[in-house]
Amino acid sequence: MIIFETILLLLLGAALLSILAGRIGVPYPTLLALGGVVLALVPGTPQLGLPPDLILALFVAPVLLDAAHDTSLRDLRANWRPVLSLVMVAVGLTTIAVAVVTRVFLPDMPWAAAIALGALLAPPDAVAALAVMQSVAPPHRIRSILEGESLLNDASSLLIYKLALAAVAVGAFRPADALPAFALVTVGSVVVGWLLARLVILLTSRIEHPAIATILQFVMTFGVWILAERLELSGVVTIVVFGLTAGRRTSASSHTSVRVLSFATWETVTLVLNVLAFTMIGLQLRPIMERLDGAERATYPLYALAILAVVIVVRLAWVLFYGAAHRLSRDPGDALRSWTGTLKSGVLVGWSGMRGIVTLAAALAVPEGFPYRDFILLVAFMVVLGTLVIQGLTLKPLLRALRFPVDTVVSGETAAARTAAMDAAMQTLEGDHSPAAERLRHEYGEALGIARAGDDPRTSSDNALRQRMIPASRRAIDELRAEGTIGDEAYRSVEEELDWLELSSRPSTD
């Protein structure tokens, strides 16, 4: 009972901290991390523990699926060069740098364990960075790069992490032996993720009950991860491909009420998982410190601060180097295709490397008895806390100081999608001069057909016409996204408007 009561108090405290974060303009993950420290210092606070093999599935799978589902493949393809440089080079450099520095501090630490530490510290979490950016409206391209990086970085870094854990178990780490297994696991995970997504889309399109559909979504999410692990594939790569594929379903391939309810549910679940991940590692901080002897208690925090500096500097240095190389390129188009068409864009991307839930979950998943496990947990928490405080609290002032021009990409695409949706709807009324049709011609442009004050949105004639118009609008925005004219952000925005319009047009059941 005490565990249940503790979880309730944690969720209540996190809700209050999130409200406070919004009031004072601070990213909520920063306050959650600080709250974890405070909890760790409270005497008698219980320790919440989970089996290591459950932690990654519980915390990482739904968060990755949610991020993958919302990622725009068009924007990812358009920015593949900078994203790939961050996913491959930045992750590799961070992993190696952390491993080398750790070995300098702790020469008897196995190389595989040091590489595992570097890999779990490598992936930035875009949640905190984007939480800040939403209030300042940075260029859409920078947001797209950070979202794509956060999604794919998790896959590349956690693959290295899993290989390093396996190497510790067998007592050796040979990169030449690991590369073929790495490639095989990656290809197999991509194929399985795509096949499962197609199967799930077909299945969920037949389910009309929102609650049952949402339950099945959760079962399938964890089921995909567990199946991948049972097949000795990468759960991370499988769930990312699964989410990217499922996110490309057409608007008509799932029921409106199911989509509205599931989107709201997933948003809540990802917030709860962030809360529990931050607070769980905070609760383990005090027992970790208690297990350290006097010398370790004095030196380990200093080592962690040094590794924090390495993590920040390596990313910033690589981003600026990559941008400079492209600006000096003979092909001017290379500079335009990089994120660093200007120096300030590179500074922003480089400074947006805050760590979050994936780093925390991977640290918690390190099995008991692993070499220097307490050190790894301490470093992971201090790096997450340090990046959230140092970078999280300074990112908003930095954005204001850089003074990016107003970016109208998403608003322009949303307007184009609304226009196309309205034009498609109007074509369904050609030749219809009934009073209801004439009224809807004037009303459809207002939030895509939501009736104006004083009109009754539930008259049978209006509703019947709307049920003809809305499918045409959905087909129109599906075509725009398939052509690459609009991205997923504009698509989801107009799709949501059509969803609410459809729900408002249904006859009342009262």
Winning range, highest mean pLDDT, from 8-17, 309-318, 347-356, 390-399: 309-318
- Alpha carbon distance 361, 54 (integer Å): 10
Mean pLDDT of all residues in 181-188? 79
pLDDT reading at 265 higher than 70 = yes
Whether the full predicted model's pTM is greater than 0.85, yes or no, is no
Q: What pLDDT, on the 0 to 100 scale, is given for residue 439?
A: 61
Tens of pLDDT, residue by residue over 186-198, are 889 999 999 999 8
Average pLDDT, integer, range 8-18: 81
Percentage above 70 pLDDT, the chain: 80
> Which residues does 130 contact at the CB level (< 8 Å), separation at least 6?
143, 146, 147
Neighbours of 208 (CB within 10 A): 12
Q: How far apart are CA 419 and CA 402, in angstroms?
A: 34
pLDDT band at residue 24, thresholds of 50, 70 and 90?
confident
Contact by Cβ (8 Å): 477, 493:
no
Domain extents for the chain? 2-402, 409-505
* Alpha-carbon gap, residue 263 to 254, rounded angstroms: 12
Q: How confident is the model at residue 209 (pLDDT cuts 50, 70, 90)?
A: confident
72-81, 222-231, 304-313, 386-395 — which one is most confidently predicted on average? Answer: 304-313
Q: What is the pLDDT of residues 339-377, one digit of tens each?
A: 445 678 888 889 988 888 788 888 888 888 889 998 998
What integer pLDDT is reported at residue 427 of this predicted model?
A: 79
- Write out pLDDT tens, residues 70-122: 788 888 888 888 888 888 899 999 999 999 999 999 999 999 999 999 999 99
Residue 65's pLDDT band (cuts 50, 70, 90): confident
> In percent, how much of the chain has pLDDT > 90?
15
Question: What type of residue is 151?
Answer: L
Average confidence score pLDDT of the chain: 79
Q: Would you state the pLDDT for residue 455?
A: 44
Q: How far apart are CA 318 and CA 504, in angstroms?
A: 51
Q: Comparing C-alpha atoms, which of 430, 440, 431 is closest to residue 464?
A: 440
pLDDT band at 156; cut points 50, 70, 90 = confident
Average pLDDT of the residues in 378-391: 89
Rounded Cα distance, 374 and 11, in Å: 26
Q: What is the dihedral sign for C-alpha 401, 402, 406, 407?
A: negative
Q: How far apart are CA 508 and CA 500, in angstroms?
A: 14
CA distance 246 to 194: 8
Could you tell me the pLDDT band of residue 457, with boundaries at 50, 70 and 90?
very low
Residue 256 parent element (H or E): helix 256-283
Predicted confidence band of residue 337 (pLDDT cuts 50, 70, 90): very low
Which one is the CATH code of 2-402: 3.40.50.720, 3.30.420.10, 1.20.1530.20, 3.20.20.30? 1.20.1530.20
pLDDT tens, residue by residue, 420-433: 887 887 777 676 66
Give mean pLDDT, residues 325-337: 55
Tens digits of residue pLDDT in 43-53: 777 666 677 66
Res. 470: pLDDT tops 50: yes
